[in-house]
Structure 1
């Protein structure tokens, strides 16, 4: 599945109207905010569409996955938007992540807890905003997408230390820049270690650079830690590859079109997270050229002054000098 899909669920008392655009969407919030009611209404409609007081309008089939027989249910679901209510323990398992990878469905998961086995985006974590009888999904972390505080922070970010998610090409790129300006650059060796490194470096001005496309499970605890200090910041592009592609290093209208509406191009069956898609796209676009890209080892051509300047220009309000 690809694209943006609108879901309208309504009864005489309630109406939910929202859009889904990635393979994994997280709905969160406290009790009595309407999360379970939403899933219950969808379940009621799907089990008795002709006799239910609930109406459901969507261009895709909507299903509810629940209980101990979830694998059997999932095996019969294709090209659908699958809703899962909180309380279903299987969503936290590596087994669930393995089963849904490679399926052509979108998944909407109600959960107040982080789900570390799933690579979901910081952009696709929502609460439910209600106005009387009307409900829609409210994005929780929009202001943290691409640069921490784009909408809120008015001053520049000048870190002493840069922490990257892993030791791949992104780390090698920023390590080169940091070494030129006597800044430290270190790898967390996995996004789950970023929280620990931040705690260890609480006296430093730290900039964390991670893949926003899969950082959702870590967002709560990292954000909670950052709200207690004013000397650190998050920069969450979709991925390092997205950052390269969006830096206008070369003129390619197809790349620009893809970046403007990536959900129209990214097939959920083929790419478990958008980060993987942008990696594949950059590799394909540069294959056979002097900028041929490798995720594990950075092509040194990406370290020339023109390319570094283009990437840093894209990173608004961040000063690595």
Structure 2
């Protein structure tokens, strides 16, 4: 499945209307905010479409996945939108993550806990806000980076240390930039280690760079920690590969079309997260050129002055070069 899909679920008293654009959407929030009611209404419609007051409008079929037989249920569901209410323990398992990775469905998961096995985007975590009789989804985390305490994102960020999520090409790029500008750079070898790294650098100005496309499971506890800090910032592009594609280095009209609306191009069965998709696009579009990209080892061409400048210019208000510290 690909593209954006609008879902409208309603009775005479209630109405939910929202749009899904990725294969993984997370709904969070406290009790009594309407999360379970939404799933109950969908279940009523699926089980008895002609005998329920619920109306469901969507261009894709919708299902509710639940219980110990979830895997058997899922085996016959294809090209659909699957809703899962909180309380289903299987959503936290690696087995569940491995299973849905091989499907072509979109998943809407209600949970108040983080799900580290799933690569969901910080932009696809929602709460339900009720306005009058109508329930709508609003984004909870919608910015690529946030600055707390005395700083705001309107002021320049001048870090002393840059922390990256992994040790691949993105880290190698920022490691070189930091070396040239007398900055420390550390790789965390995984997003789950970023929280602990921030705790270890309480007295330094820290900039964390991570893939927003898959950082959803860590965003809550990291943001809570940053609220207590005046010297740390979080920058969340979709991925390093997205930064390269978005930098305008590749003069390619198709890339611009993809970036304007990635959901129309990301096939969920092929790419479990957008980060994987952008990596595949970059590798394909630079193949057999001087900018040939590899995930594991950075092509030195990306460290040339002009290319490096184009990539760094996207980091609005973040100053890594050319300033005394």
TM-score (norm 1): 0.98
- Show the counterpart of 2:123: 123
- Show the counterpart of 2:317: 317
Matched, 1:59 2:67: no
- Show the counterpart of 1:148: 146
Q: What secondary structure, in the 3-state scheme, does the structure 1 residue paired with 2:116 have? A: coil
> What's the CA shift for 1:263?
0.0
- Show the counterpart of 1:14: 14
Q: Distance between the aligned counterparts of 1:49 and 1:35, measured in 2? A: 21
- Show the counterpart of 2:292: 292
Q: Distance between the aligned counterparts of 1:148 and 1:228, measured in 2? A: 13
> What's the CA shift for 1:182?
0.4
Q: Distance between the aligned counterparts of 1:87 and 1:185, measured in 2? A: 40
> What's the CA shift for 1:47?
0.2
- Show the counterpart of 1:283: 283
Q: Distance between the aligned counterparts of 1:140 and 1:114, measured in 2? A: 14
- 1:102·1:271 contact (CA, 8 Å) conserved in 2? no
Q: What secondary structure, in the 3-state scheme, does the structure 2 residue paired with 1:72 have? A: helix
Q: Distance between the aligned counterparts of 1:149 and 1:268, measured in 2? A: 32
- Show the counterpart of 1:171: 171
Residues 216-248 of structure 1 show CA distances to partners (whole Å, capped at 9, x for unaligned) of 000011000000001110010110000000001
- In the alignment of these two chains, the number of paired residues is 318
Q: What secondary structure, in the 3-state scheme, does the structure 1 residue paired with 2:56 have? A: strand
- Show the counterpart of 2:220: 220
Q: Distance between the aligned counterparts of 1:315 and 1:234, measured in 2? A: 11
- Show the counterpart of 1:103: 103
Matched, 1:204 2:204: yes
Matched, 1:183 2:186: no
- Show the counterpart of 2:304: 304
Q: What secondary structure, in the 3-state scheme, does the structure 1 residue paired with 2:212 have? A: coil
> What's the CA shift for 1:60?
0.3
- Show the counterpart of 1:113: 113
- Show the counterpart of 1:260: 260
Q: What secondary structure, in the 3-state scheme, does the structure 2 residue paired with 1:142 have? A: coil
- Show the counterpart of 1:24: 24
> What's the CA shift for 1:153?
2.0
- Show the counterpart of 1:70: 70
- Show the counterpart of 1:135: 135
Q: Distance between the aligned counterparts of 1:80 and 1:44, measured in 2? A: 17
Q: Distance between the aligned counterparts of 2:32 and 2:60, measured in 1? A: 28
Residues 176-206 of structure 1 show CA distances to partners (whole Å, capped at 9, x for unaligned) of 0000110000100100000000000011100
Q: Mark the runs of 5 or more structure 1 residues left unpaired by the alignment.
A: none
Structure 1 ranges of 4+ moved more than 2 A: 147-150
Q: What secondary structure, in the 3-state scheme, does the structure 2 residue paired with 1:213 have? A: helix
Q: What secondary structure, in the 3-state scheme, does the structure 2 residue paired with 1:318 have? A: coil
- Show the counterpart of 1:158: 158
Q: Distance between the aligned counterparts of 2:105 and 2:231, measured in 1? A: 41
- 1:27·1:128 contact (CA, 8 Å) conserved in 2? yes
TM-score (norm 2): 0.97
Q: Mark the runs of 5 or more structure 2 residues left unpaired by the alignment.
A: none
- Show the counterpart of 1:81: 81
> What's the CA shift for 1:149?
5.2
- Cα-Cα RMSD: 1.0
